[in-house]
Amino acid sequence: MMKKLKFIPKKKQHSTLKTVLVSLLITSSFYTTAEIIPSEQVIKDITYLASDDLKGRASFSPEIDKAANYIAKRFAEIGLQPLHSESFLQTFTVSQIQPNTLSVNLNGEKISPKNTAIASTIEKLEWDSNVAQVHIINKDDDMRTALRELNQQGGQHLIVIDNSHKKTFKAYQGYFNRGLTKLSLEHSGALVLVLRDDNSVESKIEQYKVSASATITQQTLTNVVGVLPGKQSPEDIVLYSSHYDHLGVTEDGKQIYNGADDDASGTTAVLNLAQFFANKGDNKRSLMFSAFTAEEIGGFGSKYFSQQLNPDHVVAMINIEMIGKPSKFGAGTIWMTGMERSNLGELLNKNLVEINTKIYQDPYPEQGLFYRSDNATLARLGVPAHSFSSTQLDKDQHYHKVTDDINSLDLSSMHKVIETLATATQPLVDGLATPTRIDKAQVRSTGKIY
Ligand SMILES: [Zn+2]
């Protein structure tokens, strides 16, 4: 699950010895009822994916490739087929744009670098009272909204900001200084921010001069995708997904963001649902299983994936995010994001009556979680794409912390969630239920620049 604003988490002091005693986690309650999905394999998968060996599965790290290879190996063992190519690994390139220099002159006055910031996808930028549109953000304006709108619009903008927004400006400055990652530089643009020092810059910009440079490098990322072809309507796809990347290690390299809940838990679900439906072997529709990369840094894995198939063929997307701990509705329960946007939840709940449970509505609408995972990318294309979760995000002490390790999970609850998802989605798999499409016009678009 992505942060609301993608600022890197602060260093944590907490240090634990991450000893995983799997035997202690297998409580007797696992075996009191017949399992439809073996908990032993669930524990094996999450133990490996959340292990220190993978160093927090940071995008671009060598360790995330180890995680990808593990998932690919499991897909092969399960008997899935690759999509389009020989390999389960769907590798692609992104551009990383690191700002180098930035100099700004307004009305003939040089602005101190501490009061300037840039988000740009352009390698060399030269403005001499031309090219850019000039905007003033006054004291009473909503700076975040103004920036979001310009970001969605794209193009080149010079934005002069009232000093009362200093704190917000600093947050954006820190974020932009870390550079940008883009799947494509096609819709390029630049935002140059200038924080007005109370008495220096006039509110009216008569002339401006801006020059900036950035270094653009190419890096590769990898999704892992496997298919179980449908026996009756192979062109219809039911997509099960998660993201397998996380935040890596702390800045000093001493502590690991294991991301056991976020989202080794969802990836474990994807693997074990693949196993479950492959063993049954009677899926009428094609089932696609995807572990996305680079969710935490902007959802690039799902963006690339969505361009590799016709989204009209995706009947539903079951994106599984943070299911490692009991939800506020109790152990083994699940809620879904954007439930009102399609009738998928209603259809899934029909099949849950027999096991006396249901999928709840997202209890944290104020958090904007529909937009904070990979489902949003497919929803923008009209797919009934939702995230299924059990996190208590409002009070989760481990979210994006180094303590999100396997010891913080309730594996029995997680196992139950996976089994519930198997039962809930059976009518989709059998071709007996087809949810309504999401209205694309009602899904907010992403920014063009940052
Ligand atoms: Zn996250």
The DSSP element (H or E) to which 149 belongs, if any, is helix 143-153
**Cα dihedral angle (124, 130, 132, 136), rounded to 10 degrees?**
130
- In this structure, the strands spanning 256-257 and 116-120 are unpaired
Tell me how far the alpha carbon of residue 4 lies from the centroid of ligand 1, in angstroms. 10
Q: Is the pLDDT of residue 6 over 60?
A: no
Q: Is the pLDDT of residue 19 over 50?
A: no
C-alpha–C-alpha distance, residues 318 and 239, integer Å: 6
Give all domains of the chain, ordered by start, each with its CATH number. Answer: 22-94+219-442 (3.40.630.10), 95-218 (no CATH)
Tell me how far the alpha carbon of residue 232 lies from the centroid of ligand 1, in angstroms. 37
pLDDT for 94 = 97
Please give the model's pTM, rounded to 2 decimal places. Answer: 0.88
C-alpha–C-alpha distance, residues 416 and 331, integer Å: 8
Tell me if 293 sits within 8 A of 222, measured CB to CB: yes
Tell me how far the alpha carbon of residue 447 lies from the centroid of ligand 1, in angstroms. 19
pLDDT for 198 = 66
Selection from 423, 240, 242, 239 nearest residue 348 by Cα: 423
DSSP 3-state assignment of 209?
strand
Tell me how far the alpha carbon of residue 324 lies from the centroid of ligand 1, in angstroms. 13
Q: Residue 381 CA to chain centroid, in angstroms?
A: 17
Tell me how far the alpha carbon of residue 151 lies from the centroid of ligand 1, in angstroms. 23
Tell me how far the alpha carbon of residue 261 lies from the centroid of ligand 1, in angstroms. 9
C-alpha–C-alpha distance, residues 29 and 50, integer Å: 23
Q: Is the pLDDT of residue 109 over 50?
A: yes
Tell me how far the alpha carbon of residue 8 lies from the centroid of ligand 1, in angstroms. 11
Tell me if 239 sits within 8 A of 316, measured CB to CB: yes
Tell me how far the alpha carbon of residue 254 lies from the centroid of ligand 1, in angstroms. 20
Tens digits of per-residue pLDDT, 306-320? Answer: 999 999 999 999 999
152 CB neighbour count, 10 Å cutoff: 13
Tell me how far the alpha carbon of residue 188 lies from the centroid of ligand 1, in angstroms. 27
- In this structure, the strands spanning 233-243 and 248-249 are unpaired
C-alpha–C-alpha distance, residues 363 and 62, integer Å: 37
Tell me how far the alpha carbon of residue 252 lies from the centroid of ligand 1, in angstroms. 20
Tell me how far the alpha carbon of residue 400 lies from the centroid of ligand 1, in angstroms. 6
Q: How confident is the model at residue 84 (pLDDT cuts 50, 70, 90)?
A: confident
Tell me if 391 sits within 8 A of 401, measured CB to CB: no
Tell me how far the alpha carbon of residue 429 lies from the centroid of ligand 1, in angstroms. 28
Residue 238 phi/psi, 5-degree rounding, is -105, 120
C-alpha–C-alpha distance, residues 365 and 336, integer Å: 11
Tell me how far the alpha carbon of residue 196 lies from the centroid of ligand 1, in angstroms. 34
Tens digits of per-residue pLDDT, 178-209? Answer: 999 999 988 789 999 999 986 555 568 889 99
Tell me how far the alpha carbon of residue 433 lies from the centroid of ligand 1, in angstroms. 31
63 CB neighbour count, 10 Å cutoff: 18
Tens digits of per-residue pLDDT, 153-184? Answer: 999 999 999 999 999 999 999 999 999 999 99
Tens digits of per-residue pLDDT, 375-402? Answer: 999 999 999 999 999 999 999 999 999 9
Q: Is the pLDDT of residue 68 over 50?
A: yes
- Kindly give the residue spans of alpha helices, DSSP state H, lying in 282-436: 300-306, 344-350, 375-379, 411-429
Q: Is the pLDDT of residue 20 over 80?
A: no
Any bridge partners for residue 127, and if so which? 210
Q: Is the pLDDT of residue 36 over 70?
A: yes
Selection from 73, 49, 46 nearest residue 63 by Cα: 49
Q: Is the pLDDT of residue 22 over 60?
A: no
* pLDDT average, residue stretch 80-99: 95
**Cα dihedral angle (75, 79, 80, 84), rounded to 10 degrees?**
110
Tell me how far the alpha carbon of residue 7 lies from the centroid of ligand 1, in angstroms. 12
Tell me how far the alpha carbon of residue 26 lies from the centroid of ligand 1, in angstroms. 27
Tell me how far the alpha carbon of residue 210 lies from the centroid of ligand 1, in angstroms. 36
Tokens of 245: 């990347």
Tokens of 435: 């949810």
- In this structure, the strands spanning 109-110 and 385-389 are unpaired
Tell me how far the alpha carbon of residue 246 lies from the centroid of ligand 1, in angstroms. 7
C-alpha–C-alpha distance, residues 419 and 351, integer Å: 13
Tell me how far the alpha carbon of residue 295 lies from the centroid of ligand 1, in angstroms. 8
